Structure 1
Amino acid sequence: MVINMIQIALVGIVVVLMAIIFKNSKSEYALYISLAGCILIFYLGVGKLEIIISTIKKIQTYINLNENYISILIKIIGITYIAEFSSNICKDCGHTAVANQIELVGKLTILATGMPILLALLDTINQFLTA
């Protein structure tokens, strides 16, 4: 796991250095290099998602959780990553307003996706209060 993080850090540093070199002469290449680096880092880091998903499923064996809630949590993790990834790319390109809108819509999507969990929690609290 540590070696993977070292690889990711080295790829990031090399990508940034290459983008800096190309930024002065061919600025459009700097953007392409950054995008390629981001995709490569995503590919190297996607294994971490497997660890998270397996841990969530293991937690589910300890406590009786509805599978819909696990599915919602996994969707929220995906939404978070996609929103952060695309927002950072927009910021790197100098489009902060677009990046902020992506972040806002990401947060709203997470909130909307998590509503069934909130409703179930409120229902459980209501059952305790009325019992």
Structure 2
Amino acid sequence: MDILQIVGIGFLATVLILVIREQKPMFAYLLAAFVGVAIFLAFVGKIDDVISVLEELADRSGIPTVYLKTMLKIIGIAYIAEFGAQIVRDAGLESIASKIEFAGKMLILVMAVPIISVIVETVLNLLPV
């Protein structure tokens, strides 16, 4: 799917949601959530191509794959948390959306600890004793 199709689907969904919202607000929200998920799923397949290119670059550079996988998980957590928070925001629940974002940030921090420790160890090894 290219961006013109996505924007077209978004505009169509927006018009439908604005029409439906007056009579059935719950259906309008469900339509918005469904369209959001459909757009998200349309691009999940393209992520596989990006991952394979990054794995090839990591192999050529000698970076252990565990670090690449951790970075990809961190990126995935960030995208999923943002997507979930935006859907909850669409329902008007800002407080829950901020909790989702906070949970995503905490998971990212937990996942980043091994990478941060390797960076600190590397810097410490470079310093003269």
Alignment map for 1:1-131 (pairs within 5 Å): 4-130=2-128
Q: TM-score, normalised to structure 2's length?
A: 0.92
Instruction: Determine if contact 2:74/2:108 at 8 Å carries over to the other structure.
Output: yes
Aligned counterparts of 1:101 and 1:66: Cα–Cα separation in 2 = 33
- The superposition leaves residues 16-65 of structure 1 with CA deviations (integer Å, 9 ceiling, x where unpaired) of 11111100011111011111101110121213312331231122033111
| Identity of matched residues, % | 29
Alignment gaps of 5+ in structure 2: none
Instruction: Determine if contact 2:67/2:115 at 8 Å carries over to the other structure.
Output: yes
Aligned counterparts of 2:4 and 2:41: Cα–Cα separation in 1 = 14
Residue identity in the other structure for 1:51: D
Structure 1 vs Structure 2 CA RMSD: 1.4
Residue identity in the other structure for 1:89: I
- CA displacement at 1:77 relative to structure 2: 1.6
Q: TM-score, normalised to structure 1's length?
A: 0.91
Q: How many residues align?
A: 129
Aligned counterparts of 1:51 and 1:18: Cα–Cα separation in 2 = 34
- CA displacement at 1:7 relative to structure 2: 1.4
Residue identity in the other structure for 1:49: I
